[in-house]
């Protein structure tokens, strides 16, 4: 049921954030009320832009008093509808809370407000001679609070892990309006339950992350990128296994030839080599000595001799490395013009080939004329299935047909004990399928946890599951 706010409530919100920070114009409602999904029309009642923890807390307390729902909003780059306000909610946009508050060189940590953009943190770490490794195509616009809310992964997970692995501490405003300091930036802390971890990946359903203490690490040295062409998908795990034995990989990605052709056609990029391939692997490693390069080339020759590869190339400069990365990183932006229906799936790395073969066969058998684009972080078992919308279908028709296919896809996910959401969250798009990855007992416990932190049910309602 859609909510509308009485004038006196609007006045009180305006008094909290200031008259210029409460937005009701149509353009703001449209842009702040949605994320990168396009299947849910945004219908927020109002947008508020707080600039302090105190203002966020006041908004949450007011929402509890009057019973109106809140949708926390970061960079709005999500892909599962987690930041969509479709039922008249108040959007709490954290864009103005974008300051880096504190740096500690000894601890190699930094305290950030939740609205800090991912690339902003990466640049700051670089200025300090350090590195923030969580990286993805939306780094230039995604915000830290949203990354934490979805436990964002990206292209470096095989070596550096997920966002969860870099959060030393959190300051949160719970759904009841209580401000909690969680873990205080400690590396080791076994004093009871780690409530910090509950808020990571919770998609704003328990409260609003307002500050985060993030861990940094040393900068990688002389990163080299290889793009390898494979005749089919099956040898990909053999290639991954061999290179992992010989090199300390910082990334191992894959994409289909169909994905490459889209990027080349629409981004003006060049093919990595002349040979045709069915699939491509992109791997990255530190070349800290001549020995690293020797082992990389020996591994390439070995895989070539085994028939696992048809060709390959390696970067000789940072500019070349960036160009090769674009072949993979520009895929999402390129295919966005077809309004793709995205499935963000994961299984154990060892089971990826069999899993993808089953899913691909299912989709192709039901809709043989659909364009399917595969890519993903194959080194950590995460594959992105993208179905491109045919021009002949309306958005509603396309979504309905994709949801029908998703049931079969998620049955395969369940068979492989995989996840329906590896890194994008559940949001609105996948909440009906949560049971394919979580047991009924787990979901019951999740509901009970939400009740503890958000007893009035005002925090991002309808996301992950319904009350």
Boundary residue ending a domain (182, 201, 218): 218
pLDDT value of residue 2: 56
Output the furthest CA–CA distance in the chain (Å, rounded): 74
pLDDT value of residue 185: 97
Do 322 and 359 belong to one domain? no
CATH number at residue 426: 3.30.70.2740
Q: At what angle do helices 352-366 and 395-415 cross, to 10 degrees?
A: 140
CATH number at residue 256: 3.30.70.2190
Contact 366, 254 (CB under 8 A): no
pLDDT at 191 over 60: yes
| Domain annotation covers residue 239 | yes
pLDDT value of residue 393: 93
Boundary residue ending a domain (168, 196, 218): 218
**Nearest Cα to 338, choosing from 129, 38, 8?**
38
pLDDT value of residue 116: 98
pLDDT value of residue 328: 96
Mean pLDDT, the chain, rounded, equals 96
pLDDT greater at residue 366 or residue 256 = 256
| Domain annotation covers residue 261 | yes
DSSP string of 100-163? EEEEETTTTEEEEETT-BHHHHHHHHHHTTEE---B-TTTTT-BHHHHHHHT--BTTHHHH--G
Do 205 and 233 belong to one domain? no
Do 107 and 202 belong to one domain? yes
Do 74 and 14 belong to one domain? yes
Q: How far apart are CA 342 and CA 398, in angstroms?
A: 12
Pairing type for strands 70-73 and 90-93 reads: parallel
Q: Give residue-wise pLDDT tens across range 97-113.
A: 999 999 999 999 999 99
Do 204 and 108 belong to one domain? yes
**Position 4 confidence tier, pLDDT thresholds 50, 70, 90:** confident
pLDDT at 238 over 90: yes
Q: Give residue-wise pLDDT tens across range 334-379.
A: 999 999 999 999 999 999 999 999 999 999 998 898 999 999 998 9
| Domain annotation covers residue 464 | no
| Domain annotation covers residue 19 | yes
pLDDT value of residue 38: 85
**Nearest Cα to 68, choosing from 6, 113, 119, 150?**
6
Q: What percent of the chain has pLDDT over 90?
A: 97
Domain that holds residue 49: 7-96+449-453
Number of domains in the chain: 4
| Domain annotation covers residue 186 | yes
Q: Give residue-wise pLDDT tens across range 19-37.
A: 999 999 999 999 999 999 8
| Domain annotation covers residue 42 | yes
DSSP string of 33-80? T--S--SS----SEEE---SHHHHHHHHHHHHHHT--EEEESS---SS
In this structure, what DSSP letter does residue 250 have? E
**Position 126 confidence tier, pLDDT thresholds 50, 70, 90:** very high
pLDDT at 1 over 60: no
Do 363 and 265 belong to one domain? no
| Domain annotation covers residue 183 | yes
Do 117 and 211 belong to one domain? yes
pLDDT at 454 over 80: yes
Helices (H), 330-439: 331-335, 352-366, 395-415
Do 371 and 315 belong to one domain? no
pLDDT at 3 over 70: no
Do 318 and 344 belong to one domain? no
Mean of the pLDDT values across residues 184-213?
98
Do 123 and 168 belong to one domain? yes
3-state class of 181 per DSSP?
Answer: strand
| Domain annotation covers residue 280 | yes
Do 109 and 206 belong to one domain? yes
Show the tokens assigned to 96. 């103005």
Contact 253, 281 (CB under 8 A): yes
Q: How far apart are CA 111 and CA 26, in angstroms?
A: 35
Q: Give residue-wise pLDDT tens across range 306-343.
A: 999 999 999 999 999 999 999 999 999 999 999 999 99
Q: How far is CA 285 from the centre of its chain?
A: 23
Do 183 and 110 belong to one domain? yes
Boundary residue ending a domain (162, 194, 218): 218
């Amino acid at each position: 049921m859609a909510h509308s706010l009485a004038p006196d409530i609007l006045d009180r919100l305006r008094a909290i954030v200031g008259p210029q920070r409460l937005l009701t114009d149509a353009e703001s409602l449209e842009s702040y009320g949605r994320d990168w999904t396009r299947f849910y029309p945004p219908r927020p009642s109002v947008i508020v832009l707080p600039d302090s923890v105190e203002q966020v807390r006041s908004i949450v307390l007011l929402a509890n008093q009057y019973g109106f729902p809140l949708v926390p909003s970061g960079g709005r780059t999500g892909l599962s509808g987690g930041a969509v306000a479709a039922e008249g909610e108040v959007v709490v946009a954290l864009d103005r809370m974008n300051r880096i508050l504190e740096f500690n060189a000894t601890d190699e940590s930094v305290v950030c407000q939740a609205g800090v953009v991912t690339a902003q943190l990466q640049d700051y770490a670089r200025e300090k001679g350090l590195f923030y490794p969580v990286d993805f195509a939306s780094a230039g616009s995604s915000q830290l609070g949203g990354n934490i809310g979805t436990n964002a992964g990206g292209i470096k997970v095989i070596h550096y892990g997920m966002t969860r692995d870099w959060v030393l501490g959190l300051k949160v405003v719970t759904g009841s309006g209580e401000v909690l300091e969680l873990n205080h930036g400690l590396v080791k802390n076994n004093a009871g339950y780690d409530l910090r971890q509950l808020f990571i990946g919770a998609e704003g359903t328990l409260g609003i992350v307002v500050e985060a203490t993030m861990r940094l690490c040393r900068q990688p040295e002389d990163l080299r990128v290889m793009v390898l062409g494979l005749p089919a998908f099956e040898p990909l795990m053999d290639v991954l296994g061999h290179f992992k034995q010989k090199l300390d990989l910082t990334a191992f990605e894959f994409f289909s030839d169909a994905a490459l052709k889209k990027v080349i056609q629409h981004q003006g990029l060049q093919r990595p080599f002349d040979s045709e391939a069915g699939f491509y692997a992109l791997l990255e490693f530190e070349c800290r000595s001549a020995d690293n390069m020797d082992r990389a080339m020996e591994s390439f020759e070995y895989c070539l001799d085994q028939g696992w590869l048809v060709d390959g190339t390696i970067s000789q400069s940072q500019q070349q490395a960036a160009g090769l990365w674009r072949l993979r990183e520009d895929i999402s932006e390129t295919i966005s013009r077809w309004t793709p229906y995205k499935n963000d799936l994961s299984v154990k790395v060892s089971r990826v080939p069999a899993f993808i073969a089953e899913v691909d066969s299912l989709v192709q058998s039901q809709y043989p004329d659909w364009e399917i684009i595969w890519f993903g972080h194959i080194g950590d078992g995460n594959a992105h299935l993208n179905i491109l919308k045919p021009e002949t279908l309306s958005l509603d028709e396309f979504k309905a047909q994709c949801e029908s296919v998703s049931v079969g896809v998620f049955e395969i996910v369940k068979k492989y004990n995989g996840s329906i959401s590896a890194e994008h969250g559940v949001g609105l798009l996948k909440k009906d399928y949560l049971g394919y990855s979580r047991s009924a007992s787990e979901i019951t416990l999740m509901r009970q946890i939400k009740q503890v932190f958000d007893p009035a049910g005002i925090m991002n309602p309808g996301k992950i599951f319904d009350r």
